[in-house]
Amino acid sequence: MSVSCSYETVIGLEVHAQLLTRTKMYCSCATGYQDEAPNTHVCPVCLGMPGSLPVANREAIQCTMMTALALHCELPDHTRFDRKNYFYPDLMKGYQISQYDAPIGRAGWLDIEVDGQTKRIGITRVHLEEDVAKSMHMGGYSLIDVNRAGVPLMETVSEPDMRSPEEAREYLVRLRALLRYLGVSTGNMEEGSFRCDANISLRPVGATEFGAKVEVKNMNSFRGVYRALKYEQERQAEVLSAGGTLRQETRGWLDAEGVTVLQRTKEFAEDYRYFPEPDLPPLSLDRDWVASVEARMPELPDERRARFASQYGVPTQDASTLVSSRPFADFFDECIAAAGPARGRAVSNWLLGDVSRLINADGVEICDCPLTPGGVASLVDLIERDVLGGPAAKTVLEQMYRTGKAPDVIMQELNLGQIRSSDELLTAVRQVIGDNPKAVADYRAGKEQSITFLTGQLMRLTRGRADPATARRLLVEEIQRAEG
């Protein structure tokens, strides 16, 4: 038994997401810097030149309001920006314009699902700030790229409500899906546009006081967050069960080694000397503005999941998978528009089965492959009308995925339509019986499962064009007839 069983794990997450605005947070420099030459998206404001003045980005504020609303937060009537003072080479002004005690959103929640159970995770706050420049350490000297400085950064802080690395991973998956639905962030962790710091502590099972909190940084994938938390859980349990004590500290995750290492201890709370930003006016979120932002919000995953289950008869677990990515859920909706709601379950089964297998194998999104919703709807229609058999349909789907052709065209080209003529099927049945005397003899001797083998041979001979149930029935009839 793992030593961690005598302790309860407490996890809270801080997520920074770059917002998908056209321009930076406090200046008009373009944000799309990922593939650009260093220091090409800069101006006096984001370089931190004395005398330059910031102007708050309205679109970034609206993205944050939208996220706060989607997370069921309270939005205050009045908010403001604050100066957070600290010194670091990548912080151009010597301070960051952030939000301190009046964030845009507070006291919200996000529901997650782990092992079939729904759990509500509290959201402490959602606030808006700016990204910093990027340092590159060259060995002996360092370079700085200011393109990233001033990109709008939204921070979402959760309550310490998660009790396992699995819950933390699920929270990140749900939060990222939400940001992607809203279209406010790419949510790309590998590119650094979605970053997570995790706070984790342990306490004896039944205790109400929190243990010493360790902050873990430097994870750059969901898997990294999960592994880092697993590692910390085990490490802290070992220290505690050996009678040791834990300090409040910051640790960095080393992905290749699979360990966390001490970065700094936190003896005292850091003093950022926050004060209201004097160069920006206070921000009032008047109710008309909030209402107009709310009106722009798309249907969110929870509502969509419920609609897929109630209107199209899709099982809840399947509906959860369909809504986990917005392009996938959009694709499903478009398929239903073409196929009709009665085909909901059949379409869902194809999307979650063979279609997912094909796109996952190539690592592409459904919107970036040649499949069209109309094509999938026609495929399901051909199957439901018994024009195309299940096994042959798999071949047709694969060709649709490779070529983008319509299913009926592929079916004709490859002659994959369900065998309609009983003569054609009977000829194939007789050939299979003639080719497999041993299996036929086995069946006659009472070995029932031989018929499954013979049916398989028939499906192979007809390249999946026979209806398996009819094929099986005809085989039995024909063997018995020959016997009689």
Q: Which residues bind Zn ion (CB under 5 A)?
A: 27, 29, 43, 45-46
Q: Which is nearer to Zn ion, 29 or 314 (CB)?
A: 29
CA–CA gap between residue 90 and residue 168 (Å, rounded): 29
CA–CA gap between residue 232 and residue 188 (Å, rounded): 24
Q: How far is the CB of 52 from Zn ion (least distance, A)?
A: 9
CB 85 within 8 A of CB 44: no
Q: Which is nearer to Zn ion, 43 or 212 (CB)?
A: 43
Q: How far is the CB of 258 from Zn ion (least distance, A)?
A: 39
Q: Which is nearer to Zn ion, 146 or 228 (CB)?
A: 146
Query: Phi and psi at residue 115, in whole multiples of 5°?
Result: 50, 40
Tell me how many degrees the CA angle 335-338-341 measures, rounded to the nearest 5: 75
Q: Which is nearer to Zn ion, 43 or 259 (CB)?
A: 43
Q: How far is the CB of 40 from Zn ion (least distance, A)?
A: 11
Q: Which is nearer to Zn ion, 15 or 46 (CB)?
A: 46
Q: How far is the CB of 148 from Zn ion (least distance, A)?
A: 11
Q: Quick one: tokens of 275?
A: 């004060």
The DSSP bridge partners found for residue 147 are: none
CA–CA gap between residue 149 and residue 146 (Å, rounded): 5
Q: How far is the CB of 219 from Zn ion (least distance, A)?
A: 29
- The one-letter code for the residue type at 458 is L
Q: How far is the CB of 229 from Zn ion (least distance, A)?
A: 37
Q: How many C-beta neighbours within 10 Å does residue 61 have?
A: 21
Shortest CA distance to 301 belongs to which of 176, 188, 159?
176
Shortest CA distance to 467 belongs to which of 335, 475, 29?
475
Q: Which is nearer to Zn ion, 43 or 369 (CB)?
A: 43
Q: Quick one: tokens of 466?
A: 């026979």
CB 201 within 8 A of CB 7: no
Q: How many residues does the chain have?
A: 484
Q: Which is nearer to Zn ion, 20 or 69 (CB)?
A: 20
Q: How far is the CB of 34 from Zn ion (least distance, A)?
A: 16
